Structure 1
Amino acid sequence: MRIMRKIIFSPFYKVVMADFFMADQLTSQIPLLRHTEFAACYFMAGSFRAYPYETCTKNQQYKHLAYVISFLPYYWRAMQCLRRYLEEHDVNQLANAGKYVSAMVAAAVRLKYKATPTPFWVWMVLITSTGTTVYQLYWDFVKDWGFFTPKSKNLWLRDDLILKNKFTYYVSMMLNLVLRLSWTKSVMKISITKNETRLLDFSRASLEIIRRGHWNFYRYLKLV
């Protein structure tokens, strides 16, 4: 709870490893945070006793608030990077903050496209989300995991590998790539039922937790 307080009030607290590590986990919990607002509406307000399931899901006020909540992890993480830049004068922290700002921009454009599905906004989604994805993949592989080391004896990896089976690293990289591209669902006209949509969202959220677990593992290995 102390760490969460420091995250919420970023950038007013000094940032240590536990703070930015926890904030990184929150960026993978956005589906959960987005549904927290719905859960509060549905259960705490007693809607489930007198109203159908769609009472909260169709309420535009709750939908907008849910998206605002889902932006917070990116904002907090960007503010942490800004605080570290001011203290450490490390330009990499500014670049890292840019990654989270670009994610916020891409998410905002996808939200606009959902409300106004015109060809212009389709292109805007493709441009902003593709740029953000490339940014994130570079940071994951090169900055956070330490892969793609020049002249490494291990193709696309680094020299000092903890795991003997290199295939594990490549699987993690492919999983990371595929899940970073999950935003493409927002521009694909797929005809599926409401229950199938919920199942797909649940599956994507679960796989994101697995992706974050892989990220945590390689991030830790780089630190040690």
Structure 2
Amino acid sequence: MERVEATFIKHFSNSNHSKGMNKLRLKTKKERHRISFCTGLFVGCTTALIFALILIIHVRNILDKQGKAQYMENMFPLYRRYRINYTFIFGFKQGIELGYREVLLLSFGLVALALASVISNLDMEMDPKTGDYKALTELLPLILVTLALVILVFPFNILYRSSRLFFLTTLFHCICAPLYKIKFQDFFLADQLTSQVQALRSLQFYICYYGWGDYKHRQNTCKMNDAFDTFYFVVAVVPYSSRLLQCLRYLHEEKDRMQAYNGLKYFLTIIAVCTRTAYSLNAGTGWGIVAWICSAIAAICGLLQHRSKNRWLRDKLLIPYKGVYFGAMALNILLRFPWMQTVLNFKVSLHRETLAAIVACLEIIRRGIWNFFRLENDHLNNVGKFRAFKSVPLPFNYEDDEDRDV
């Protein structure tokens, strides 16, 4: 090792020992205790706001007030142990990528902001002094969404600008799926979007609700519009279509037959989403049966691999306990089927929008579990195919970007 270091310093650092060792050493992030402090602060705020929201709803009997159904229709839709090298997989510059603390900080910060908006909306709704300003009360969800979008596209170098730019660039590649060479981060983000169909539909609803001025009269006429119903299909299909096009592009470039199989799975999912949407808009036995069959096939595709060295699992595993994988598979199946409520129409006491929000949250949990095993799979592929780096730059021309964040 010392001979390798000496050779590198001699030929690539002009015998400057400190400069050469600085290039060879891994760049580690500096500890920032304010991130931990702010994360804890937002966790506490989130917990307090959740309890406050529950108390407000029960103490003021909001669920028994006149206009409850209309309020729910209009407002509620808004609301390294195993050393997986995710920095390489996503193409981050090592040492300046976002860690779990930064991600938790942003997550709990946004949750606290959303809950504060919900409580403010309820308080303005129930307070006699602000009860007459109904239009202003209705604008709070719009202000929240606008603020989140402004933070996302904010051009100044704060709030992890390079990470936001990375996200927007990857999102653009997902939208223009067949026009760009497919990288891991592209289809990873596209997979995340397939779990956000309910959120995308909520955004579609609010564009109609606020764009056409229904909020001024608190009248929800969007769902009576044929154009709205058409886009209700389109918005749900776009994420799956993006993944389908990515599979076809990857199949054309790499000649990997597995991508054809994946493409077929997403094609069946598109059919399932369309039939399920048609059933929700115009309930009928025929639509329900087709939606149930297509969704069941799409849900279990690729679940088991009976020819593997580890029966029913991959040949190589990082976690030594196989029960973890089988437990995740069972949980994945359980979390895939809450949507059956929309097809089978079980009688439950919850409001339809509340139930949709719960199903959406369960899908986010399922996708989070899937993310870990997806990254593990790509890490094992990189190791197995000796892809420890993307290229060997000679004569090692590095750029010092220590001041930039990812």
TM-score bracket for the superposition, by shorter chain length: 0.7 to 0.9
Shift of 1:32: 0.6
Distance change >3 Å, CA 66–CA 9, structure 1 → 2: same
Match for residue 38 of structure 1?
205
Shift of 1:151: 4.1
What is the distance in 2 between the residues matched to 1:97 and 1:103?
10
User: Among residues 369, 376, 388, which one is paired with 1:221 in the alignment?
Assistant: 376
Unaligned runs of 5+ in 2: 1-167, 380-406
User: Among residues 181, 185, 200, which one is paired with 2:355 in the alignment?
Assistant: 200
Secondary structure at the aligned position of 1:111 is classed as helix
Shift of 1:175: 1.9
Superposition map of 1:105-116 within 5 A: 105-116=271-282
User: Among residues 57, 63, 78, which one is paired with 2:229 in the alignment?
Assistant: 63
TM-score, normalised with respect to structure 2: 0.48
Q: Which amino acid aligns with 1:91?
A: R
User: Among residues 226, 235, 245, which one is paired with 1:79 in the alignment?
Assistant: 245
User: Among residues 223, 239, 261, which one is paired with 1:95 in the alignment?
Assistant: 261
Shift of 1:188: 1.4
Length, aligned pairs only = 212
Q: Which amino acid aligns with 2:229?
A: K
Secondary structure at the aligned position of 1:182 is classed as coil
Q: Which amino acid aligns with 1:34?
A: R
Shift of 1:123: 2.6
Match for residue 346 of structure 2?
190
Q: Which amino acid aligns with 1:180?
A: R
Q: Is the 8 A contact 1:6 1:13 kept in 2?
A: yes
User: Among residues 203, 215, 218, which one is paired with 1:51 in the alignment?
Assistant: 218
Q: Decide which structure has the larger Cα Rg and report it.
A: 2
Distance change >3 Å, CA 109–CA 65, structure 1 → 2: same
What is the distance in 2 between the residues matched to 1:159 and 1:88?
22
What is the distance in 2 between the residues matched to 1:120 and 1:62?
23
Q: Is the 8 A contact 1:47 1:55 kept in 2?
A: yes
Superposed CA deviations along residues 57-101 of structure 1, whole A, max 9, x for unmatched, are 444432331221110000011001101111111111111111111
What is the distance in 2 between the residues matched to 1:124 and 1:208?
22
User: Among residues 176, 196, 209, which one is paired with 2:364 in the alignment?
Assistant: 209
What is the distance in 1 between the residues matched to 2:253 and 2:322?
38
Match for residue 14 of structure 1?
181
1:177 aligns to 2:344 (yes or no)? no
Superposed CA deviations along residues 21-65 of structure 1, whole A, max 9, x for unmatched, are 11111111111111111111223443212232x333444432331
1:150 aligns to 2:323 (yes or no)? no
Aligned Cα RMSD in Å? Answer: 2.3
What is the distance in 2 between the residues matched to 1:117 and 1:43?
28
Greater mean alpha carbon deviation, residues 172-181 or residues 97-106:
172-181
Q: Which has the higher helix share?
A: 1
Superposed CA deviations along residues 88-117 of structure 1, whole A, max 9, x for unmatched, are 111111111111110001112223333443
Secondary structure at the aligned position of 1:117 is classed as coil
Q: Which amino acid aligns with 1:208?
A: E
Shift of 1:17: 1.0
Match for residue 125 of structure 1?
291
Secondary structure at the aligned position of 1:191 is classed as coil
What is the distance in 2 between the residues matched to 1:121 and 1:73?
22
Secondary structure at the aligned position of 2:347 is classed as coil
Q: Is the 8 A contact 1:105 1:128 kept in 2?
A: yes
Distance change >3 Å, CA 17–CA 130, structure 1 → 2: same
Unaligned runs of 5+ in 1: none
